[in-house]
Chains A and B, each alone.
Chain A
Amino acid sequence: MPQGGGKGHPHAAQKVKLGELTMKLHFFTGFMLAVLLSVSGFAGDLADVKKAGVLKHLGIPYANFVSGAGDGMDVEMMKMFADYLGVKYEFVKTDWSTLFEDVSGQKVKVSGDTVEILGNTTVKGDLGANGITILPYRQKLVDFGTPTFPNQIWLIARADSAVKPVVPTGDLSKDIAAVKELIKGRSLLGKAKTCIDPSLYKLETVTDKIKFFEGGLNDVAPAMIEGEAELALLDVPDALVALQKWPGKIKILGPVSDKQYMGPIFAKSSPALREEFNKFFQIISHDGRYLSLVKKYFPYVYDYHPEFFKEMK
């Protein structure tokens, strides 16, 4: 937001000129965007999907949302959605670095909560779903559908670590503060541009031993077990899976973030598709199909976030 005061005319004239310029710029930007979109193609909205007869699901093998072997909670849910729309289902594999671009068709630069559009790119799918946390900067890039899964960022450590989990106080902010105390002076493993990016939780202010993991998000927990860092950040679904896969090797120390949610992403140019998904999710979250998927892929999530599923049947 431009800061400025009304101290003299030159300034006022300057403001008018600037306003005109801004308007012209907006106009130009809008025109260029329209031209570019016509060239690169927007993500298909509902009518385009139905016309094409296929729903392209962009996803990254992650946790139990997308297994990488043809199934996963989000895979099954999107197959149901394709059925609901009366079109075929197609999975399109992508990765975290290009997921949002592949959905929105916009090349962007993210810096904190600031998003800079660098240009356009090819749209590779109609929607994205693989346990994508709803974060403010992401909301600038894409539209999220109704949240489909609860989330939170947890701090984990090796089971044999001397660091002990915080005792829950019932006050989340106090618990987060206690957890941040644990991080102090210790090496912490996170991953940039993901929900476990330590900068999202201002953890760089807590420790200077932050390590940005360069491998896949799924490898964070085993990397910590391997000794890459004393501590690591994991989101709830990943942590629940890690607890199952490496039993007795990791422990949850406590929350680092407030409660978060995960949901499917849509290009901003696909409001009808998003709306249709929301309707669809309303249906399956009340006819038992969604809960059966949750029980199948994340059986322990009820223990941690029962309130999310309270209204569902």
Chain B
Amino acid sequence: MEQENVKKSSLQSRDIALIAVSLLVLLFVAGLIWVNYSSSQQIRATMLKHLQLDAEKRADTVAFFFTGCGDDLKALANSRDVSVFFENQALGMSMRYGLRQSLIPIKDLFSKTSVSRLINGSPVYDRIILVTAEDEKILADSASKEDRIPESGFYGTFNKNELDLKKGAPYTGPRRLNGELIITEPYFFKGKYEALIIAWINKESIDKLIKEKGIHCNSFKLLDASSIKNLETPRGQVRLTAPVNGTPFVLEHLEDAKHIYGSVHPLYILSGFAAVGIFLFSLMLVMLHMNLQSKILKTQLDATSLREEEANAFNEKLKEEIKIRRSIEKSLRENEMNFHTFFESMADMSFVASNDSNIIFVNSAALKAMGYSKEELLNMRLVDLYPYDKHTEAMETFSSMLRKEKDQTSLPMRHKSGSLIPVETRVWPGKWNGERCIFATSKNLSHEQEAQQSFEHLFQNNPSLLVLFTKPGKNIVDVNNSFIKATGYTRDELIGKKFRELEIFREDKQDQLVNEMLEKDGHFTDLELPIFCKDGRRLVALFSMETIGSHGKEYFLAVILDITDRKTPECK
């Protein structure tokens, strides 16, 4: 057994070690995969950050570029030449002279500005115009081929559909117009919006600006900020955007995902490793499960063997127990027999009743005393043994005795003939043939009663003076008629009193003498003592006292002979 336990525990330790090692290996592999994945993610994040920074840098460059363009247009709007034109217009100069002369320097200024800003040698502006807000007429156009302002004045009208000049007035800065990039600057004369300067930005120059050097620089685009919300990123590409500050544009960088993640996305690598890990883990679980099943089987077999052994031991025990029980039963049977015999041999009436008071056994003394046959008694209840009018009292008395509140009852039983049988009955609970039952024994007191009656007759009618005292205390229990007649006391005056107390003995020494004599031998005879009657008469009495028993108690019986007459001369 001990060997088996050692074997079992070593097996368990080996399994735990195996599981622990497997888990450690699994954790190690998972850790490696995670480190690999997080490194890939970090590289990707760094790459994305780098690209984002690059995009933001380019966006800042574009913003700076637009700021420069805006400054160009502001300079035009603040130029004295433009102001002079509107001053002259206010003065009412004609287009033929004053206004035309005013426009010449404006045209020159616009033309110079349009070629002054360059990116990599290319001009930034395709065209710069000054257009009136009121009638939407172009006042100056850098793209005009005419060297001299025609006498008709304005170059032409601006297409209203292209730009709402009135709405555009407050707006300063770049925007897109019919797919082209423009930048505008309103002109205010004396606080009133009078004209708008519009410059068309050369597409190539912007391209050069945003695609200048750097990583994957060809994939940059300038988009309207409002349009990117609805754009979907093409599959396999990553979209980065950076706002171009101070403009409604964003710089978009659309890059192939493989340039950032490599040919395989780190998530796919992680997923692959995770799948392999899950497979291995599942395999391990299956093996563990199989191992566990074997172990369970083995344990079950071991348990079966153990149970078999335990069953054998139990059988042995059971046999022992059966043996013991049989022996007990035998002794019980013997006991019952003895009990039966014991009851049968008893002079008193014996009854055994079931818990519901049905009589299941009676002895011969009962059969004899009650006048019933055995069959009749076995069909009766205990209370049926009593007169009909005493059934309730008998039941209550039995209950009290079963509760040990009462020892016995003197309730007389009813003979089959109807006569009453004085009995003293005791009842107690017990077992009969293994069942709970009520035992009852009733002592037939017919003879004692008869003897009592005889004694009573003798006592009362005796010519001698008879007194019955309690043994201790010597209180008067009973007196006969002769004593009452002789002493003049009534019975009631005497019962419970002492002689000395009633002055029947007038001296204490009389009492002492009687006591001494009784203590010495328990009885005495012919002791002469004076006693006094109720009326004070003195009587000479010859006392004899004997101890007698009645109903388990001891009494002193005093037989007193009045010898006064014999002693009269002496008395006289």
Contact = CB atoms under 8 A, between A and B. Distances in A.
B96 A67 contact: no
B98 A69 contact: no
Interface string B77-96: 00000001011111111101
Contacts of B96: 215, 219, 223, 226
Chain B interface residue number, banded: 10 to 19
A261 to B, nearest CB: 22
B100 interface: yes
A73 to B, nearest CB: 13
A218 B101 contact: no
Given A69-B189, A69-B190, A245-B84, A218 B100 contact: no
Given A69-B87, A245-B84, A222 B190 contact: no
B91 A225 contact: no
A63 B90 CA distance: 11
Contacts of B89: 68
Interface in A219-273: 219, 221-223, 225-226, 228, 245-246, 249
A68 to B, nearest CB: 3
B268 interface: no
Given A222-B98, A226-B100, A216 B90 contact: no
B80 to A, nearest CB: 8
A44 interface: no
B84 A67 contact: no
A62 B97 CA distance: 15
B102 interface: yes
A67 B190 CA distance: 10
A208 interface: no
Contacts of B87: 67, 69, 245
A71 B88 CA distance: 13
A222 B91 contact: no
Residue among A62, A69, A71, A246 with max Cβ neighbours from chain B (10 Å): A69
A62 B92 CA distance: 9
A128 interface: no
Contact of A222 (B90, B101, B189): B101
A68 B101 contact: no
B88 to A, nearest CB: 7
Given A226-B96, A245-B84, A67 B101 contact: no
A215 B102 contact: no
Interface string A14-44: 0000000000000000000000000000000
Contacts of B94: 215-216, 219
Contact of A69 (B84, B90, B93, B102): B90
8 contacts: A61-B91, A67-B90, A69-B86, A69-B192, A216-B92, A216-B98, A219-B94, A219-B98
Interface of B: 84, 86-94, 96-98, 100-102, 189-190, 192
Nearest 8 CB-CB pairs, A to B?
A68-B90, A222-B97, A222-B101, A69-B90, A219-B97, A223-B97, A222-B98, A61-B91
